[in-house]
A and B are shown apart, each in its own frame.
Chain A
């Protein structure tokens, strides 16, 4: 199904970059608002990485004739849903385009769009977070299973550290080598890409934290039993530590809960771009070990820097986007620190990271514990 993505920005760039993973959709058009300054440029401009081969347009209505479906994606920039996106959804429905929405919707808007799609007989798929039906876990079943398949965690120092790119690249590369991968991704629409979304119950305010940990463990065990994978990749949303007293990254609570539910064999930590001294890497590894009980085996250096000055003065999270090619040059010196630091946005970096993880797991596999 020929699909147009709107409003396209870096949030969806990873998916377009790995579009072979999206089985049922053929991404044919990328449209973003004029003020996002991507008009006429290759879609790779969104995440400052290699070209994607699709030019971004700001002409939404004119682009509708290229597609059968419109995917209204989630986005990192601020955009008023009611005044800018809503009219475009309705216009698309009127023109009989199928509708896919990954952006979280209020119950009211979800009902409104569903009704409009029904009336116009167009297909509607919604991938936003869902409500959860929950039962408190009785004491007698409050236990966690051992997970016997090797598990990899993909975690980050915060938002926008290319975690999703790491997850998709690993999936693609490891599957290519011939392994069977089960995966839980950081987003709510990973089913579009053929794997499991991070479960909504982990965000629930009704479920106790202890129950979340148990449920997550059972969720992974269920996947292990049903899918019989060689490897399980778990992407953990958000950051693992507060950035400082102002930017709390939810205190890394999700990462803590997942790490209590499942013990990984390997962890990939994605960093903001920076020039780090050797001690930084060793301190991070120690902190992760003590806080989450797992070892960081390698790092991904993202092509996004945290803008400390702006964040301080503007009192909000602030980032600086950097060309991915520049990162290649900057990670070279880390070799002398004896740290594995990759640039996932570089094709070689992506393959090297996958191979490194496979070798590592193979090495662990030499020791068979039964």
Chain B
């Protein structure tokens, strides 16, 4: 009888009761009566009454109608295996999109939350640099293994990559030469303290995409981002550089992406005010990220005031989407949320007949294909966000190529929690990759499972937000409609 339970998740909003049908990806609005019936059926605590509930379930006309339309199936995936697993070697020999070169492990800053600051299980800042020979091998590796990709990217990372500007220059010129016939782009993450005329002009000439870390107003930014030698805050130096950059290279400046690492100790309204009103950044792209918890040695507690202010800004953003207030009153820090919601609920939520017999939960990318990271010594990692101390994440070396067994294990991370994953209603929407199971020398099911609850909470929030916005008449439809004018 348990097998007959529909594979669904139930949720409700102020305006309605809903089923998320896992097999079809459909979100179905139902009456309270059917909702309660389904809730009872799914509730394991009502086992004693199961026969009675099941009879009612079988005879309910609306339920029967839904089943006839293909909903409420109890089918579940039988085996966790990533669809690329079988052809992994082919994938990684033709589809590497990017290599990130760690040109140095040194930095001129000592940021409190930096992954290399000592607060994380990771390497520490060291005066070690990449040789040009190693950089060349990395670039050759990218070109040799990207036959099915039209456009590849070489990223530069540190430490602070501008400490090795001469190496970066040589690497860019070399990459342009060997990539003939393929579009090659470059990207760069910098703390923004080392820009000079020469640096900017070179980067501009080669159309390098720049990401600059700027956390907020002086008191917020300087709280974490300090010079290594003096211990002084870096805000003034960066803003001077930005003003020079914008005044002298205004078109190139428009392309800069700013990354604000949000520390919950700060005031949300203060951050929001800064990014909305600071004149230099007025027309710039801004992304936000939270101080990372993965590999962190200390437990970070959320700041309640911050969360309250964030929720209020989200509420304002929703009102703007419902045309109740002007968009100019919405904080820049929350505008991306709606686009993400739309993408997840409309663009990516493809309808299907049922779950596949074999498959893998959402989350893992193909390790090494999206953002292959090479450290100063030529060790290869799936991306720059994993710990360089981790043996399970070290997926090869530039001299010997990939270790496919390790990569296959990372790709099929769902295998270590197979039974839980098969039963999980958030299977397709899971965001957990192997990083969340990384115990440096092994992949831990226990560690991975500790994140599952928050993934499900977050997805449920998104489902509710989407349905609530629909109830209030929000249009998620793309307004880009082609029309033929009849004359």
Contact = CB atoms under 8 A, between A and B. Distances in A.
B224 interface: no
B181 A79 contact: yes
A310 B179 CA distance: 22
The main secondary structure of chain A at its interface with chain B is loop
A207 to B, nearest CB: 20
On chain B, which size bracket covers the interface?
20 to 34
A35 B182 contact: yes
A318 interface: yes
A37 B90 CA distance: 15
A37 B146 contact: yes
A220 B143 CA distance: 45
B96 to A, nearest CB: 11
Interface in A277-320: 277, 305, 307, 310, 312, 318-320
Interface string B351-384: 0000001100000000000000000000000000
B87 interface: yes
A35 B143 contact: yes
Nearest to A37: B144
Contacts, number: 66
B108 interface: no
B178 interface: yes
A197 to B, nearest CB: 27
B179 A320 contact: no
A326 interface: yes
Nearest to B178: A34
B180 A37 contact: no
A7 interface: yes
A312 B148 contact: no
Nearest to B176: A35
Interface residues of A, number: 28
Contacts of A79: 181
A312 B347 CA distance: 9
A337 to B, nearest CB: 15
Contacts of A58: 180
Given A37-B144, A37-B147, A312-B348, A322 B90 contact: yes
Given A310-B95, A323-B90, A326-B87, A318 B181 contact: no
A37 B178 CA distance: 9
30 contacts: A32-B181, A33-B180, A34-B143, A34-B177, A34-B178, A34-B180, A34-B181, A35-B179, A35-B181, A35-B184, A36-B181, A36-B182, A37-B145, A37-B147, A77-B150, A77-B181, A78-B183, A273-B87, A275-B86, A277-B357, A307-B95, A307-B148, A319-B148, A320-B87, A320-B90, A320-B95, A320-B148, A321-B94, A321-B148, A326-B87
Interface of B: 84, 86-87, 90-91, 94-95, 143-148, 150-151, 177-184, 348, 350, 357-358
